Each structure stands twice: as C-alpha cells, then as structure tokens.
C-alpha cells in the first residue's frame, strides 16, 4: 500500500520559517511527480507546488512563489517544503500528494499555524 507521512508542522510566528517533510513508501518514488496541497481551516483545497521526478522542474502557485521551495531526495524517498517569510494566511493543513495531474494518493496532513 502507498503511504505518505508528513511531519514538521507546528506553530510559527509571522515572518518565520518551517520545513515540512514527507516520507513515501509503497510506490516507485523516483518515477512520480509529487505535490504539496494545502487546506486552510474550514476552507477548500489549494495546490501549492509540485516537482518533477528528477527535481528538474518545479511549479508554484503565485501566492507562495519566492517564499516556498519544494525539493525531493529520491534516495530517501522524501519530499520537502521549505517555507520562509510565513504569513498568517499560510495557516493550513499541508498534504503531501502523489501528483498524477490529479492526486491518487494523499498523506494525512500536517497542520501549520502562523500566528503571533
């Protein structure tokens, strides 16, 4: 079975940084695009960023471009999201997702709260 397990969420002050990790198993990690999708409390879903199999291409939604960096380590079957200059509006559950253009596997999510 495919398992995606996120970690690294927590409470951070506005302007701070946080690094999320996602440990993947049960899939050929190096052969698949991966994404981060977020969901603000009580709100809908928003695609944040995705990354090609070998890390050579990365795409970001406008609201995070220049502040967030997606990366991966295929040797460790791991996906990362470095989040800098965090804003209150970045508060959300962040999901690691296998990106088949649609998402066919989701992690359980990790909560990021940006508040003073």
47 binds another protein (CB under 8 A): yes
Q: Among 55, 109, 111, 113, which residue sits at the site for another protein (rule: CB under 8 A)?
A: 109
* Angle made by CA atoms 82, 110, 75, in degrees to the nearest 5: 55
46 binds another protein (CB under 8 A): yes
Between 23 and 45, CB nearer to another protein? 45
> How far is it, in rounded angstroms, from Cα 109 to Cα 8?
10
Between 16 and 43, CB nearer to another protein? 43
> Judged by CB under 8 A, how many residues of this single chain contact another protein?
17
Which residues, at least 6 apart from 6, have a Cβ–Cβ distance to it below 8 Å?
Answer: 20, 21, 22, 94, 95, 96, 107, 108, 109, 110
Q: Return the range that interacts with another protein (CB under 8 A); candidates 13-21, 26-34, 72-80, 95-103.
A: 95-103
Q: Which residues bind another protein (CB under 8 A)?
A: 44-47, 59, 61-62, 95, 100-104, 106-109
């Amino acid at each position: 079975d495919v398992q995606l397990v996120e970690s690294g969420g927590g409470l951070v002050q506005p302007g701070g940084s946080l690094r999320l990790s996602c440990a993947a198993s049960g899939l050929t990690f190096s052969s698949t695009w991966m994404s981060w999708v977020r969901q603000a409390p009580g709100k809908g879903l928003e695609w944040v960023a995705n990354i090609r199999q070998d890390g050579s291409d990365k795409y970001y939604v406008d609201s995070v471009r220049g502040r967030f960096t997606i990366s991966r380590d295929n040797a460790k079957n791991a996906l990362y999201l470095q989040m800098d200059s965090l804003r209150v509006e970045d508060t959300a559950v962040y999901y690691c997702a296998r990106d088949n253009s649609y998402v066919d596997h989701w992690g359980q999510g990790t909560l990021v709260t940006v508040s003073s």
